[in-house]
Chain A
Amino acid sequence: MNLQQDVIQLDNVFAAMADPTRRAIIEVLAEGDETAGSLAARFPISRPAVARHIRVLRDSGIVIVRPLGRERVNSLNPRVMAPAQEWIEHMSRFWDERLANLKQQIEDGA
């Protein structure tokens, strides 16, 4: 694993997340691949505006696009997303442990 490469990719991911629409697109794609059209349908902004956000995500390597029949589907690039996802999961486990501890402290101490 190239640590320098991971740092650069993580910067890309967190920078992409600075925009709420791009955060939302990432959340949607985390659940499954989608075409640009089906992504655009989810947002109140114009289709070209959504397309611009998807392009930013593709240019930074976060989203990859592949042909599927007559369409093109977008998916999250696991190689780029993995370090950011690992960080979020790490913090998620941290809170699981803390909250379990809180519950135990209150319920056992009562």
Chain B
Amino acid sequence: MTKIEKEIIIDAPVERVWEFLADREKLASWMMNIEGEVVSGETFRFVSEPRNKWDGVIVCRVKEMDPPKKFVFGWEHNVIGGETTVSITLESDGNSTRLSLVHDGWENTTGDVADFIAEHTAGWDDKLEGLKGKVETRETV
């Protein structure tokens, strides 16, 4: 319970999945709007609606980009108060891709995350409705 680990299988080759990590527009299509460049050594920002004490921005320092296998970036915002780390690893599995995600570094949390939760959950429900609509009308990226 000190870190988050996820794994999914995507029915597409690893190079195709990598595009959705490394290409700014494709990354934004399943995450959030992006400001800045998604490039090794740079910092980009996910931008969303401010909620409660959160200013709506997630600062992501790109730590590692190793195409098409590994993408590691920092995840920091004003409520967390410190930098956590998201590591995404891709592995070929026949014609499919196994994507593993680890989100850790929560010991760097210095902020008040407790009362952020209730507000934030409501925001994501709205966002998911919007995304669901976009995907179902087959908008191309």
Contact = CB atoms under 8 A, between A and B. Distances in A.
A103 B131 contact: no
A85 to B, nearest CB: 6
Nearest to B109: A14
Contacts of A56: none
Interface in B108-141: 108-110, 112-115, 117, 120-121, 124, 128, 131, 135, 138, 140-141
Given A97-B124, A99-B6, A108-B135, A87 B117 contact: yes
Contacts, number: 102
Contacts of B101: 95, 99
A71 interface: no
B4 A88 contact: yes
A10 B2 contact: no
Interface residues of B, number: 37
Contact of B114 (A10, A99, A104): A10
Given A14-B109, A98-B30, A108-B138, A90 B20 contact: no
A41 interface: no
A3 B29 CA distance: 36
B128 A97 contact: yes
